[in-house]
Amino acid sequence: MKRSVLQHLCDILDTDNTWETIAPYMSGIAMRDVEACKRYGNYNQSPSMLLLRIWCSKGFTVVHLYQLFAKTKLIRLMRVMKSEVDEKYHYLEEKVLNPARRLRPIVPPAGTQQTASRLKKIDSKDMTSTPTQSITTSSTNDPLRVAIEGTLPVTYQELSEATKGFSVNNVIGKGGYGTVYKGEIRATGGMVAVKRIFAGNDNSTQQGSKAEKERLRQSLTELRTLARFRHDNILPIYAYSLEGPEPCLVYQFMANGSLEDRLLCRKGTTPLTWVQRKEISIGAARGIHFLHSFAKTPLIHGDVKTANILLDKHMEPKLGDFGLCRDGQAEVEATEKRPLIASHIKGTLAYLAPEFITSKILTTKLDVYSYGIVLLEIASGQRAYSESRETRGLVDFCQLNKELARRQKIPLREILIDRKAPALANEFEEQFWDTLLEIGLAGVCVDRKLRPTMAQVVECLCKNTTPTIP
């Protein structure tokens, strides 16, 4: 490639760090390569120039770069380097402008497909209950391949070093299928969260095999989901590793822990203010609404709860833990005669809607119900389920206290408000508390058709109003 053309490409890619948007789609480029390019840029050098040199050293050619720009729809860059590729590839520009027809695949050099083959082997018929609608790429329609090409690979050894050998001192969370560790990437000093999926350790071989497949299925579901959906209120995934004894997923480190942690004031943290609670409520609702509305087929999270709403250093909420999510139906598409039945979701019982517990009916209203309980927790400071309460379930607890307040003719917030939180400062905050509770109670209505949609929830939280359900 002519030096002048290469320099022109790098000038464009360096602007606003555009090169970072193509790096995840470059086979063979690992997290350490991206970090090296960032450090290179800190010395007033061109990070994209280094990135292209690294990619070239792995056997990729000018044609591969042209195909990459086609795949990422960077028409301007395709035109800059058009003279450097054979005319037989010029059709790609038309294909990008006319996406109805598919592009030919980018064929990487030999040896770069090992990770893809490993993942495809894991993604067997035993784990077919993952989301079915995938993004169409230039290389394949396999949703797993999409996840690989959109997410950076990292070695198990690097993650072990980042977490000090997966030290118990670095544990920041545990779940049914994995442990989350705080880690530090030495090259940059950047903090990350590393989820390590448990290796099989069950009592019998049969049980162990079944559990191992379920763990792998969940990790692959989460990997492909987070690669498929990008939103300000969805936890971003940075990298993955499947080459070690346990699969690992690497996420943005969330400095303020989970919403559950902050509502319970764990580790001596200060109670959330009502302004913070409002912003967190709206942000989390937007993340769920995005899942329900982004694609033609809504994606149902299946495990919405305060423990899965994570808070970054700015208290911005991010919806996490997508191991249970499924393609499903919007409630308007669901009928009593032909509801979508899902037997694989095993969400937290206290947050599961009654129609799912009894009949495994899966619609977007499952997430609405779960989020309704989250709002009740934010308003009351009570847990979704507590052995120490006479009325253990939070839904029943709130409804009983609502009836008590009605009989005693006193404001419900005098009974139910979170006593740990700062006092309501003004009429606006009082109205917001009322809104939280009313939307929460509407969301947990036994009849799913009477629950609001997530679009209505977002609108009502923003406007401080209660939903009107037809």
Alpha-carbon distance of 86 to 88, in angstroms, equals: 5
Neighbouring CB atoms inside 10 A of 334's CB total 20
Write down the number of H helices and E strands in the chain: 19, 10
Nearest CA-CA partner of 239 in 228, 223, 259, 258: 223
Choose the catalytic residue: 261, 303, 367, 418. Answer: 303
Q: Is 213 annotated as belonging to a binding site?
A: no
Nearest to 221 by CA among 127, 116, 124, 113: 127
Q: How far apart are CA 252 and CA 256, in angstroms?
A: 12
Contact 290, 233 (CB under 8 A): yes
Q: What are the helix (H) ranges across 15-136?
A: 19-22, 31-42, 47-57, 62-71, 75-80, 91-97, 114-122
Query: Whose CA is closest to 197, among 252, 148, 143, 241?
Result: 241
Nearest to 142 by CA among 108, 105, 89, 92: 105
Which amino acid, 359? S
312 is catalytic: no
Give the span between the Cα atoms of 406 and 465, in whole angstroms.
20
* Cα separation, 97 vs 141, whole angstroms: 19
| Side-chain half-sphere exposure of 313, counting CA atoms within 13 A | 4
Q: Which residues participate in the annotated binding site?
A: 195
Q: Which residues are annotated as a binding site for ATP?
A: 195
Residues with a known catalytic role? 303
